[in-house]
């Protein structure tokens, strides 16, 4: 019977044992420090292009002045960024309209009842007709719809169509300014999201490198 001491010793195997985790070894630098792969650097976002300037516009009487960034009405200045929209509508002076109509009716009734002579009656009818015409003509009400605030109203005399054309240009410039601000904010948000994504990739790469380094240090196998 063969004793255990008489058994021939097994020759050592030249095959390296396989790592249990299955993770591959990362190459180290000359000083033994593992290099963490860095993601591509995030380029600085280019400055958003400014809007091309537009020529200033003013009404014939100088009551309204419009530039590419501001609107001035009767000496009061507003930024286009703080405005939502503007509109102008013709309105009648109800007080003068009623006074003219009631006064004309009273003078005519008094003249027909012989309470007034012809001269005073004609003068009274002329004055009350002027009041009626002034109230019927009315004025133009300009409404400025401000963001987060109450509306601001102005009275603009004159014909309505020229004011409506001017306010259409004001609305066009308001929408132009708001659209530019929205596109600029979207570009800044996209740059911030890209920076956050790159930071997350860098953190993930550092974590993977740290785990790989720990597994390599725990492995007894060394390579010459």
Q: Are residues 183 and 130 in the same domain?
A: no
- The single residue listed with the structure tokens 């516009």 is 57
Same domain, residue pair 75 and 115: no
Q: Count other C-beta atoms under 10 Å from residue 214's C-beta.
A: 10
Q: Each residue of 21-52: pLDDT tens digit?
A: 444 444 444 444 444 444 444 455 566 678 78
Distance CA 77, CA 85 (A): 15
Nearest Cα residue to 190 out of 46, 39, 51: 46
- Is 68 in the same domain as 171? yes
* Domain assignment present for 31: no
pLDDT at 31: 47
Whether 81 and 143 map to the same domain: the answer is: yes
pLDDT of residue 91: 87
Residue 83 pairs in a beta bridge with 146
Query: In whole angstroms, what is the distance from residue 113 CA to residue 127 CA?
Result: 20
Task: Please give the mean pLDDT across all residues of the chain.
Answer: 78
76 and 185 belong to one structural domain: yes
Residue 175 gets the label, from left (phi > 0), alpha (psi -120 to 50) or beta, of: alpha
The answer to whether residue 65 sits within a structural domain is: yes
Share of the chain above pLDDT 70, in %: 74
Q: So what's the pLDDT on residue 217? A: 66
**pLDDT exceeds 90 at position 163:** yes
**107-145 pLDDT, tens per residue?**
888 888 888 888 888 888 888 888 888 777 778 999 999
What is the structure's pLDDT at 65? 94
Distance CA 59, CA 37 (A): 64
């Amino acid at each position: 019977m063969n004793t255990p001491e008489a058994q021939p010793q097994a020759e050592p195997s030249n095959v390296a044992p396989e790592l249990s985790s299955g993770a591959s070894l990362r190459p180290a630098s000359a000083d033994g420090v593992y290099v963490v792969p860095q993601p591509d650097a995030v380029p600085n976002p280019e400055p958003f292009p400014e809007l091309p300037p537009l020529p200033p516009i003013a009404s014939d009487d100088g009551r309204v002045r419009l530039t590419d960034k501001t609107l001035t009405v009767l000496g009061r200045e507003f930024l286009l960024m703080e405005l939502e929209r503007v509109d102008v509508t013709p309105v009648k002076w109800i007080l003068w309209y009623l006074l003219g109509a009631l006064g004309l009716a009273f003078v005519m009734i008094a003249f027909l009842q012989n309470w007034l002579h012809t001269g005073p009656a004609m003068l009274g009818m002329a004055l009350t007709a002027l009041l009626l015409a002034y109230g019927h003509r009315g004025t133009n009400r300009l409404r400025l719809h401000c963001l987060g605030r109450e509306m601001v109203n102005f009275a603009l005399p004159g014909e309505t169509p020229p004011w409506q054309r001017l306010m259409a240009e004001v609305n066009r410039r308001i929408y132009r300014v708001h659209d530019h601000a929205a596109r600029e904010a979207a570009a800044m948000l996209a740059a911030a999201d890209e920076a956050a994504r790159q930071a997350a990739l860098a953190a993930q790469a550092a974590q993977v490198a740290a785990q790989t380094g720990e597994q390599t240090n725990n492995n007894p196998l060394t390579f010459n």
